Amino acid sequence: MKKFKFLLIVYIFFIACSQNGNQVNIYTSRHYDSDDELYGLFTEKTGIKVNVISGNGAALIERIKSEGDNSPADIYFTVDAGNLWKVQSEGFFQSISSDKINLIVPENLRGPNNEWIGIAKRARVVFYNPKKVSIDEINDLSYEDLSNPKWKGRIAIRSSNNMYNQSLVASLISNHGIDSTEIWAKGFTSNFARKPQGNDRAQIIAVANEEADLAIANSYYIGLMLSGTKGSNQLEAAKKVKIHFPNQNNRGTHINISGAGILKNSPNYKNAIKFLEFLLSEEMQKHIVNNSYEYPILENIEPHLLIKNFGTDFKEDRTSVSDYGELNPDAIKLMDRVGWK
């Protein structure tokens, strides 16, 4: 009961703050300490106060639903285009009207009707152990090649309930159709070195420990591990693996985003636009890539050196990230059918 009263007080306080016109209210499922610094920099630059509610993405969506027309939320800030699509499909976003944003963010990194945009890019790449995988094997490797029986018992990847994997499968459906992707997925899952388990960093560690020869994981995790912030064991594991960027001979490596949209009942729409434009400024793009190890949206900004060392001139898949959300239900059903646990 005491906990409920405390949460009620916090919520009432948040509502009261949100009614001040010099505010912007952000619901975020991103869990980076550096984002707090980013919010402070925005206030310092503009004088606009940032009110933040952090939480699990699904829980925040339910909160927006329950708040209805009275929701104080201006911006929903999250990772993966699939999550942004879910919010849009519920009818919670509105179009982002900004010529500056339209000039900066490529069309394939925006949602339909410009209702959400990419703030940073993330590549889903292959991590491999050079002791176990030869140059001849890894050269020109594509995602499609990973269904080949030669990789039987050699691949580590997290479970099918992970949105990053669902979006990867959705991208394959977008490019090849459901039937061909299902054939691929049957071969791919039969090549797993172990039952899917753990997060992306766990897959990289498995490769370093020779429990698998290669793994699929997001590129920025190697930056987190090499930074030393995740402990000496993860640092040492990261030093043992290398990155391969798949599909360089055709459509390019799978790209997803961290992104944001403006809620349809936003009480501070103009401030929300200012905040999104701020995130896409050179200063903040540098801040993001130097703290989260993601890739920048701005082409003139370099990735963090720990990421840059693995290569920056790789070809990116230009498949529209909105496809990942639209095809997410098909991807989930397909993964279930092939037994991807």
| Structure tokens belonging to residue 175 | 């490019």
Computed over every residue of the chain, the mean pLDDT equals: 93
Angle between helices 163-176 and 328-337 (to 10 degrees): 100
Q: Is residue 9's pLDDT more than 50?
A: no
Rg (CA), the chain: 21
pLDDT above 50: residue 196: yes
In the chain, DSSP finds a helix count (H) and a strand count (E) of 16, 10
Residue 33 has pLDDT above 90, yes or no: no
Rounded-to-10 torsion of CA 192, 197, 201, 203? -10
Question: Is 16 a residue whose pLDDT tops 80?
Answer: no
Beta partners for 141? none
Is a pLDDT exceeding 90 seen at residue 251? yes
Cβ pair 110, 121 in contact under 8 A: no
DSSP string across 67-105: HGGG----EEEEESHHHHHHHHHTT-EE----HHHHHHS
Show me where the domains of the chain are located. Answer: 2-121+255-301, 122-254+317-337
Same fold, 2-121+255-301 and 122-254+317-337: yes
Instruction: Assess whether pLDDT exceeds 90 at residue 200.
Output: yes
Beta bridge partners of 125: 217
Q: Which residues have C-beta within 8 Å of that of residue 9, sequence separation ≥ 6?
A: none
Domain 2-121+255-301: CATH architecture, name and number where available: 3-Layer(aba) Sandwich (3.40)
- Point out which residues pair with 26 in neighbouring strands: 52, 75
> pLDDT at position 1, please?
55
pLDDT tens sequence across 271-294: 999 999 999 999 999 999 999 999
What are the tens digits of pLDDT across the range 206-246?
999 999 999 999 999 999 999 998 999 999 999 999 999 99
Structure confidence by residue, pLDDT tens digits, 78-129? 999 999 999 999 999 999 999 999 999 999 999 999 999 999 999 999 999 9
Query: How many degrees, rounded to 5, is the angle at CA 140 between CA 134 and CA 142?
Result: 105
Residue 176 has pLDDT above 80, yes or no: yes
Q: What is the pTM of this model?
A: 0.91
pLDDT at 2 over 90: no
How far is it, in rounded angstroms, from Cα 328 to Cα 122?
18
Q: For the domain 122-254+317-337, what is the CATH code?
A: 3.40.190.10
- For helices 178-189 and 328-337, what crossing angle results, to 10°? 40
Query: If you write DSSP's letter for every residue of 165-186 in order, what string do you get?
Result: HHHHHHHHHHHH-HHHHHHHHH
| CA angle (184, 187, 190) in 5-degree steps | 145
Residue 120 token pair? 């940073």
The predicted pLDDT at position 123 comes to 97
Q: Is pLDDT of 35 > 60?
A: yes
What's residue 47's pLDDT?
Answer: 97
SS3 helix, strand, coil % of the chain, rounded to 5? 50, 15, 35
Residues whose CB falls within 8 Å of the CB of residue 341, separated by 6 or more in sequence, listed in order: 159, 160, 195, 196
Count other C-beta atoms under 10 Å from residue 214's C-beta.
Answer: 28
pLDDT classification of 20: cutoffs 50, 70, 90? low
